[in-house]
Chains A and B, each alone.
Chain A
Amino acid sequence: MTDPFNPYLPEVATILETVQETHNIKTFRVRFDDEAKMKAFTFEPGQVGQLSAPGIGESTFVINSPPTRMDYLQFSVMRAGEVTAKLHTLTAGDKVGVRAPLGNSFPVADMKGKDIVFVGGGIGMAPLRTLFLYMLDNRADFGKIRLLYGARSPQDMAFSAELPEWTGRSDIETTLTIDREAEGWQHKVGLIPNVLLEMAPAADNCVAITCGPPIMIKFTLEALKKLGFADEQIVTTLEKRMKCGIGICGRCNIGTSYVCVDGPVYTYAQLKQLPNEL
Chain B
Amino acid sequence: MAAVKYIPREKLPEWLKALAAQSRVLVPVEEGGSVVFRQYDPARAPVFGSDATAPPKGAVFPACQELFSYAYGKEGEDNAPTLKLDPKTEAQPTVVFGSKPCGARGFLIFDRVYMGKKFPDPYYIAAREATVFVTMACATVENTCFCHWVGSGPADAAGSDVLLTPVEGGYTVEAVSEKGAKFLDNPALTDGAAKAAEAEAVKKASRDALGEAPDIASSPAALLSLFDDMEFWRDQSDKCVSCGACTYLCPTCYCFSITDEGTGTAGRRMRSWDACMHFQFTLEASGHNPRPTKAHRLKNRVGHKFSYYPTLHDGLIACCGCGRCVKSCPVSVDIREIVQNAVAKAKG
Contacts and interface: CB of A to CB of B under 8 A. Distances in A.
Interface of A: 3-10, 12, 54-59, 80-81, 84, 93-97, 214, 239-241, 243-244, 246-256, 261, 275-278
A275 to B, nearest CB: 4
With most chain A CB atoms within 10 A of its CB, the pick from B87, B224, B265, B290 is B290
Contact of B284 (A57, A97, A239, A244): A239
Contacts of A5: 120, 122
B113 interface: yes
With most chain B CB atoms within 10 A of its CB, the pick from A3, A55, A247, A276 is A55
A95 B81 contact: yes
B116 A9 contact: no
A278 B289 CA distance: 9
B89 A250 contact: no
Interface string B245-287: 0000000001111111010110101010010100001111110
Given A4-B89, A55-B264, A278-B290, 7 more contacts: A7-B119, A54-B267, A58-B258, A95-B72, A241-B281, A255-B303, A256-B308
B330 to A, nearest CB: 23
Given A8-B68, A12-B85, A278-B290, A255 B285 contact: no
Could you tell me the dominant secondary structure of chain B's interface residues?
mixed
A251 B280 CA distance: 10
A57 B282 contact: no
Nearest to B86: A9
A3 B269 CA distance: 19
B114 A248 contact: yes
Interface in B278-308: 281-286, 288, 290-291, 296, 300, 303-304, 307-308
19 contacts: A9-B67, A12-B84, A54-B267, A55-B262, A56-B260, A57-B260, A58-B258, A80-B285, A97-B83, A240-B290, A241-B283, A241-B284, A243-B258, A247-B118, A247-B119, A248-B116, A261-B118, A275-B228, A277-B227
A247 B119 CA distance: 8
Nearest to B271: A8
Contact of B227 (A12, A59, A94, A255): A255
Nearest to B284: A241
Contact of B85 (A10, A239, A261): A10
Interface string B63-98: 000011010100000001111110101000000000
Interface residues of B, number: 57
Closest 3 CB pairs of A and B: A250-B255, A81-B285, A95-B83
A214 B119 CA distance: 31
Contacts of A94: 81
B267 A246 contact: no
Contacts of A261: 118-119
Nearest to B228: A276
